[in-house]
Amino acid sequence: MASDAVAVRPAEERDRRALAELFAAVASERDGIATEPPVDVAAWAAKWGLDGTVVAVADEDIVGELRVEPSWFGYGEIGMMVAARWRGRGVGSALVAAAIEWARAQGMHKLSLSVFPHNAAAIALYRKFGFVEEGRRIKHLRRANGELWDLIDMGLLL
Ligand SMILES: CC(C)(COP(=O)(O)OP(=O)(O)OC[C@H]1O[C@@H](n2cnc3c(N)ncnc32)[C@H](O)[C@@H]1OP(=O)(O)O)[C@@H](O)C(=O)NCCC(=O)NCCS
């Protein structure tokens, strides 16, 4: 369970800047998400799709977010992150649970995502909620340092 101090709710207009700052911080780790620095925080704040985004809030700080990007074809694509200092405390689980509930309420039939093979925490999190591995894209993403990283596709039928 997430710490009692953490609440999950739909994202609101006032969250834009904090969402973009969290995104920039996690991008700078160059490890879990595809985006790497530089991240234009103002631009990301302006364009962030709030519909389908849930946030985890602790003491008025955004400590995690999950966005479901709807497709035209009935499934939604997940992207998510938790602030480094808040990982391993159930925040990611609370976000995924909320996203599954939201997607079902939208009438989606499936959630899907892509994850780096080395991202053991994320893969364990998704498996815990019933996501299964559907395939692997070989050397799919070119990183800023020139490395080519595989991606694992995972999906959950709702
Ligand atoms: C992946 C991420 C979202 C997980 O969030 P989190 O808040 O740490 O997740 P939780 O604390 O809810 O843990 C979920 C499960 O993952 C597993 N887990 C957590 N940390 C782990 C680790 N370091 N290694 C292996 N498994 C781990 C546990 O099984 C846990 O379930 P349990 O506590 O019920 O046993 C977070 O690590 C993160 O934001 N990473 C950077 C960005 C990223 O990788 N995003 C996902 C891109 S696909």
Residue-wise pLDDT tens digits, 23-81: 999 999 999 999 999 999 999 999 999 999 999 999 999 999 999 999 999 999 999 99
Q: What is the dihedral of CA 57, 17, 33, 4, to 10 degrees?
A: 0
Please report which helix (H) or strand (E) contains residue 88, including its range. Answer: none
CA angle, 102 as apex, 10 and 84 as ends, to 5°?
A: 55
- Residue from 55, 125, 156 to probe ligand 1 pocket by mutation (most atoms less than 8 Å from CB): 125
Q: Is the pLDDT of residue 3 over 90?
A: no
Closest atom of ligand 1 to 96 CA is: 12
Q: How many Å lie between the centroid of ligand 1 and the Cα of residue 88? A: 6
Residue found under tokens 């995502």: 113
Q: What is the pLDDT of residues 78-117, one digit of tens each?
A: 999 999 999 999 999 999 999 999 999 999 999 999 999 9
pTM recorded for the entire structure: 0.96
Residue nearest to atom 30 of ligand 1 (CA): 125
* Rounded distance from Cα 95 to ligand 1 centre (Å): 11
